[in-house]
Amino acid sequence: MKKTILVLTILAAIFTGCAQEKHDKAKDGIKKEAPAKPAHVQASDEQVQDSISQTAQNDFAVKMTEDTKQALSILGETQNVLDYYAKDKPKEAKEELAKLIGELEILMTKNPNLALVPVSEAYEVHDAKLDIPAVYKITSAAEEAMEDGYYQLAKRILGSLTSELNIKTTYLPLATYPDAMRLAAALLDDGKKEESAAILIKALNTLVVEQVDLPLPVLRAEEYINLGAEAMSGSEKDKKDVAVRYLDNASYQLELAQAMGYGKKDKEYKELSGALDELRQMINDDKETTGKFDALSEKIKNFKERLFYKNNDIKKDTADKK
Q: Residue 306: its pLDDT value, please?
A: 82
Q: Does 121 reside within a domain?
A: no
Report yes or no on 289 lying in a domain: yes
Q: By the 8 A CB rule, do 81 and 100 touch?
A: yes
Rounded CA gap, 181 and 93, in Å? 11
**Does residue 98 lie in a domain region?**
yes
Same domain, 248 and 154: yes
Nearest to 101 by CA among 203, 28, 208, 15: 203
**How wide is the angle at C-alpha 73 spanned by C-alphas 72 and 77, nearest 5°?**
115
pLDDT at 10: 41
Burial class (CB in 10 A: 0-12, 13-18, 19+), 292: middle
Helix, strand or coil for residue 29? coil
Residues 231 and 264 in one domain: yes
Query: Is residue 153 located within the same domain as residue 278?
Result: yes
Please check whether residues 257 and 132 belong to one and the same domain.
yes
Report yes or no on 322 lying in a domain. yes
310 with 233, same domain? yes
CB 253 within 8 A of CB 217: yes
Task: Quote the domain boundaries for residue 310.
Answer: 43-63+126-172+211-322
Residue 178, domain member (yes or no): yes
**Strands 313-317, 117-127: parallel, antiparallel or unpaired by DSSP?**
unpaired
59 domain residue, yes or no: yes
CA distance 14 to 8: 10
**32 in a structural domain:** no
189 and 53, same domain (yes or no) = no
**What DSSP element (H or E) covers 147?**
helix 132-147
Domain-terminating residue out of 204, 224, 253 = 204
Number of domains in the chain: 2
Give 10-residue mean pLDDT values along the chain (322 residues).
Answer: 43 49 44 71 86 88 89 92 92 94 94 90 92 94 94 93 93 93 93 93 91 93 95 91 95 94 80 94 93 93 81 48 52
Residue 37 domain-assigned (yes or no)? no
Q: Is residue 199 located within the same domain as residue 217?
A: no
| CA–CA dist 94, 197 (Å, integer) | 12
If asked whether residues 197 and 310 sit together in one domain, one would say no
